[in-house]
Amino acid sequence: MPWTKALCPDGQTKTFDECLACRDRCLDQEVCEALFENERNWQAEEHTGDHISATALLGCLRSTYLERIIDYAQPPQSGWWSLRGKLIHKLVERPDMDNPYLRRSEMRLFARLNGLQLSGQLDNYQLRFLEQGVLKDFKSIGDNGLQYIIHDGAKEDHVWQTNIYAWLARQNGYRVDAIEIAYMSLMQVVNTGTRAVLTEYLMSPPSATGKRKRMIGPPRLVKRYPSGKKKWDCTYQIPPVPIYPDQQVIDFMAPRLMILHAAFSDAIMPLVAENEVRKWKCEGYCAVRAHCEAHEESMGRKLVIPS
């Protein structure tokens, strides 16, 4: 049951076929065809129903639940990030290989926690020269988002997601000595635990303080502009992804796993997300907000979005 209708700019809802037949296009037709096909294929996989994966434990559990049990409409543009990620994954996927190292791509693993099954699909796992197990995850990201990765390292949700993958790997006999996340935009690739260059446009050279505290060496002046601004190439050391011990990962997963299990098995609605998640999720990034608000109203409450 999920994304089955397109939400038009004027507020109309249309089936996918009606959207494709529309002559007053808001998004390229071939792109829409690919988006809708991707959605149908995705829903045919194990992400539907009561299946609980590592990604299902992240973010807003209520939206995860609602998106599984109801049909909803959203603008076609909202599906682009998912398709973009799939396209980029196809570029970097490599066939499984053995000696001198073991490498596995798109490896789905399963494990049980407190009697409940959890799964996760690892983008890439390498046992390099049989000495170091490296779990690697690929993320697509907008160009503007790369600066935050370069300054601060991996997003918190991605740190937890990859640590759940690491836990699953260990439960299945794969050692994990390092976790790497490759953030890929259409302009640049940035890997955690490595160095990356960020271009900045400023009058004076930036200094290695505040958000730029991980800058390495002096900025390199690339170009001067008539306005007085200058183009600087700054090199940063991106923090590695921390590896959490099993118990820390279990403490994170267990309550979320129980909440989703109760939702799917007994129709117990998950609570609204934490304040930090609601700040960005509810406004413009939630396709099932109306259903969430309706539930809150039925309980005599109002959905509050922190400012």
Please write down the HEC assignment for all residues of 154-214.
Answer: CCHHHHHHHHHHHHHHHHCCCCCCEEEEEEECCCCEEECCCEEEEEEEECCCCCCCHHHCC
Give the count of beta carbons closer than 10 Å to the beta carbon of residue 250: 15
Q: Are strands 102-113 and 116-128 parallel, antiparallel or unpaired?
A: antiparallel
Buried b (16+ CB within 10 A) or exposed e, 80-116: eeebbbeebbeeeeeeeeeeeebbbbebebebebeee
Contact between 101 and 128 under an 8 Å Cβ cutoff? The reply is yes
Domain-embedded: residue 230: yes
Domain end: 187, 211, 237, which one?
Answer: 237
Domain-embedded: residue 97: no
pLDDT at 49: 65
Domain-embedded: residue 159: no
Domain-embedded: residue 200: yes
pLDDT at 30: 94
Instruction: Give me the sheet containing 13-15, strands edge to edge.
Output: 13-15, 3-7, 72-74
Backbone angles phi, psi at 172, to 5 degrees: -105, 15
pLDDT at 100: 63
Backbone angles phi, psi at 192, to 5 degrees: -65, 150
Domain-embedded: residue 184: no
- C-alpha to C-alpha distance for 2 and 70, rounded to whole angstroms: 6
Q: Which two tokens stand for residue 81?
A: 């990030």
Domain-embedded: residue 148: no
Give the count of beta carbons closer than 10 Å to the beta carbon of residue 273: 20
Instruction: Give the chain's domain count.
Output: 2
Q: List the domain range (segments joined by +) for residue 206.
A: 196-237
pLDDT at 3: 86
pLDDT at 123: 93
pLDDT at 48: 60
Q: Are strands 132-140 and 178-184 parallel, antiparallel or unpaired?
A: parallel
Domain-embedded: residue 78: no
pLDDT at 179: 98
Domain-embedded: residue 25: no
Enter the pTM of the model: 0.91
Q: Which two tokens stand for residue 195?
A: 């160095």
- C-alpha to C-alpha distance for 240 and 198, rounded to whole angstroms: 18
Q: Give the pLDDT of the chain (307 residues) as one tens digit per residue.
A: 588 899 998 889 999 999 999 998 999 999 999 999 888 776 555 556 678 999 999 999 999 999 988 888 999 988 888 888 888 888 887 777 776 678 898 899 999 999 999 999 999 999 887 789 999 999 999 889 999 999 999 999 999 999 999 999 999 999 999 999 999 988 899 999 999 999 999 999 999 999 999 999 999 999 999 999 999 999 999 999 999 999 999 999 999 999 999 999 999 999 999 999 998 899 878 989 999 999 999 999 999 988 8
Domain end: 184, 215, 237, which one?
Answer: 237
Strands of 38-101, DSSP E: 72-74
pLDDT at 183: 96
- C-alpha to C-alpha distance for 259 and 269, rounded to whole angstroms: 8
